[in-house]
Amino acid sequence: MTLKSISLKNIRSYRETSPPIEFPQGTVLFEGDIGSGKSTILYAIEFALFGLGSLKGTFLLRNGASRGSVTLRFEVDGKEYEVYRTLVKKGKGVHQGDCYIKGPHDKEPLSPSELKGRILQILKFNEPSDPKAQSIIYRYAIFTPQEEMKEVILKKADERLQTLRRAFRIEDYKIAAQNSSALISFLKGRVEYLRGATADLDQRRKDLEQKNKDIEKFKSHLKPLKEDEGKLKGGYEKKRGELKKLEEAREKIKQIEAKIPLLKSQISDKVRLRNEAGRDLQKLGKKVEDELEPKIVELENVDKPTEKTVAVLKRELVDIRDRLKKERDQKAKLDERVENIESILEKRICPTCEREIDPKEFGSKAEHLEYEREILQEQIERLEKDAETIEGLIDKVRRYDDAQKDLKQLYPQLKDVHEEIEKRKETIKELDVGIRKLEDELRSAEGETKPLQSVLERIEGLGKEVRELEDRLSEIRKSIVAIEKDIQRSQEDKAKMEQEIALKERQLKLKDSINEYKIWLDEYFVPTLENIERHVMATINQRFNQHLQRWFDILIEGSELQVRVDEDFTPIIERDGYEQDYLSLSGGEKTSVALAYRLALNTIVQEVATGGVANLLILDEPTDGFSREQLFKIREILDELKCPQVIIVSHERELEGFADYVFRIEKEHGISRIVPRSK
């Protein structure tokens, strides 16, 4: 793996790195004063790859910020990846938020734990993806803070050995041995349990044999009882059949007996209905004879005076009255003229010119007017007579029309009454037939109920016999049920015994098989694992010592100090043949021991955990306490390492001469920024 770039937003003292921090190939130095924010970059790289691990979110998130993020680009086997993680403040805590990884083909949004597993898969780190744990391989093969390495050196032997087992990926031997021991203990307990569980197997087989004998004994007692039951059951069924027939006959007679009051009631109802129908028939006949038929005859005798309708006659009457009015008006005028002429004749003077008139001339006029008045009078009298005649015809036509209307109402009434009369006659006829039928049924029913007493007596006697048979059957069946229950219980006990025996036989075989496994694990497998682990650890210890001494000799050339590790990887420091305590060393000597230990561990872990491919090495303050001469030893170490990409974080400016690229980190007003420096 080689790093390409990283972007920080609200991570510790960094507000935002824009543009991203680029990681070129070669040796890259991040220098700055203590507390300027150098190590933050290293923690951000580890966070982007593996999440928080054992760190707290509050350690990384910038104070006062509610959200932060890290975007890291890196390359593995020629393929470039981009990983993105966020921190989100929730309440009083800080937790990981959304994250993703972008590969050569697509972008995958993942949960924090899923992302760690994906990174381990890409880096080919064979270790669990526990989101709450740091990557042991990364911490010991790529980046280990110098202070943490000193802590490893000062740990108790068993704690350090356990940590190194995990780093060397050989803790599986110890775990397998421990698990095997636990399994052996479990198998031993299991064997003892199975031995106790199968101890009574022979006795259980004897109990099963006795149970089979008990079942056969019960069956021998059951056979005669079954035979007696069969005989009694045959007699009982026969008697029960006879009793059932008699009871059916009794029920039939009782049903017939219960039917008699109903028949009598029905006859009474039909007689009442027949009498009512007879009375209705008389009333209807009287209505026809006394009311409807005389009225119809009377109306049918009303003659039709004319074919003209009342409307036509009314129009003729109107015409006559109009003519009569005109004639009367004309006669009135003639009467006035006649009166005028008679007045002139009487006075003999013309009222117009006041001359004397000729009586003969006016007399002829008076006669002529009188004649016309008589003719008009005759016409008026004739018209009055015609009007009177028409008025009489109108009255007669109206009477005729009223008669016809009444007849139209009476004819249907007469028809309905005749139909009702026929219905009543039919009803009476049907009721008479029904009455006769019911009377026949009544006589028949009364005849069928006569044998009831004899049937009741036979039922009583036969019922007594049936009850006696039932009692005897009940006693036998109780005995049969009791024996069958004994047989059932015995068979259930037998089945349980057979299951227990089968189980114990399987347990016996299992005990022998488990005992063989226990012996194999205890006497062969665990000792073999311990031998393999000792051999592997001895080989690693030997190679570790070689690397440790080589790096230490480079750092402190010509020193009287000698460093090696014992079988627990505890550093043994000797000066002039005498062992010295690590804490008694000078600062530079401590750092030299820790760095040599760190580089040896880095080499071994890469060999056993990552296939020996060392593309990236991160050194955090590797020269703390070094003299000027020792600082220049770093170049020699870097040349020896031949690592394509080395990232160094240090406050020592002397290291600038060894680096291919230098980044200066400055912190102002609590905010860190990176200033690239040209070589």
**Tens of pLDDT along 533-548?**
888 888 888 998 998 8
1-43 pLDDT, tens digit each: 899 999 999 999 999 998 999 999 999 999 998 889 988 999 9
Residue 306 located in a structural domain: yes
* pLDDT value, residue 352: 65
* pLDDT value, residue 613: 47
Instruction: Write the CA distances from 122 to 118, 169, 613, 617, integer angstroms.
Output: 6, 18, 14, 18
Residue 166 located in a structural domain: no
Q: Which of 266, 658, 277, 612 lies closest to 435 in space, CA to CA?
A: 266
* pLDDT value, residue 453: 64
Number of domains in the chain: 2
579-605 pLDDT, tens digit each: 888 888 888 888 888 888 888 888 887
197-208 pLDDT, tens digit each: 888 888 988 988
User: For 99-126, what is the mean pLDDT?
Assistant: 90
Residue 44 located in a structural domain: yes
**Structural contact between residues 554 and 574, judged by C-beta atoms closer than 8 angstroms:** no
Residue 573 located in a structural domain: no
* pLDDT value, residue 429: 92
**Domain at 320, CATH number:** 1.10.287
User: For 49-64, what is the mean pLDDT?
Assistant: 90
* pLDDT value, residue 6: 95
Last residue in a domain, options 363, 395, 414: 414
Confidence tier at 163 by pLDDT (50, 70, 90): confident
Is the pLDDT at 452 greater than 70, yes or no?
no
Last residue in a domain, options 386, 414, 442: 414
Residue 181 located in a structural domain: no
Low-confidence winner among 14-23, 452-461, 509-518 (lowest mean pLDDT):
452-461
- Beginning with the edge strand found earlier in the chain, give each strand of the sheet holding 616-620 in spatial order: 616-620, 645-650, 26-32, 661-668, 671-677
**Domain at 623, CATH number:** 3.40.50.300
Residue 607, sorted as left (phi over 0), alpha (psi -120 to 50) or beta, turns out to be: alpha
Of 69 and 613, the one with more pLDDT:
69
User: For 508-530, what is the mean pLDDT?
Assistant: 88
Partners of 563 in the β-ladder: 573
Is the pLDDT at 648 greater than 50, yes or no?
yes
Last residue in a domain, options 372, 396, 414: 414
Longest dimension (CA), the chain: 209
Residue 180 located in a structural domain: no
Separation between Cα atoms, residue 154 and residue 585, nearest integer Å: 13
217-249 pLDDT, tens digit each: 888 888 888 888 888 888 878 888 877 887 777
Separation between Cα atoms, residue 142 and residue 646, nearest integer Å: 10
Of 653 and 14, the one with more pLDDT:
14
Dihedral sign (CA 410, 304, 389, 327): positive
Of 636 and 345, the one with more pLDDT:
636
Q: Which domain holds residue 103?
A: 1-124+617-631+640-679
Q: What is the DSSP string of 254-316?
A: HHHHHHHHHHHHHHHHHHHHHHHHHHHHHHHHHHIIIIIHHHHHHHHT-----SS-HHHHHHH
User: For 173-184, what is the mean pLDDT?
Assistant: 85
Residue 535 located in a structural domain: no
* pLDDT value, residue 364: 76
**Structural contact between residues 395 and 349, judged by C-beta atoms closer than 8 angstroms:** no
Token representation of residue 41: 């970059």
Residue 149 located in a structural domain: no
User: For 90-114, what is the mean pLDDT?
Assistant: 91
* pLDDT value, residue 91: 86
Confidence tier at 612 by pLDDT (50, 70, 90): very low
Token representation of residue 115: 């992302």
Q: What percent of the chain has pLDDT over 90?
A: 21
Q: What is the mean pLDDT of the chain?
A: 85
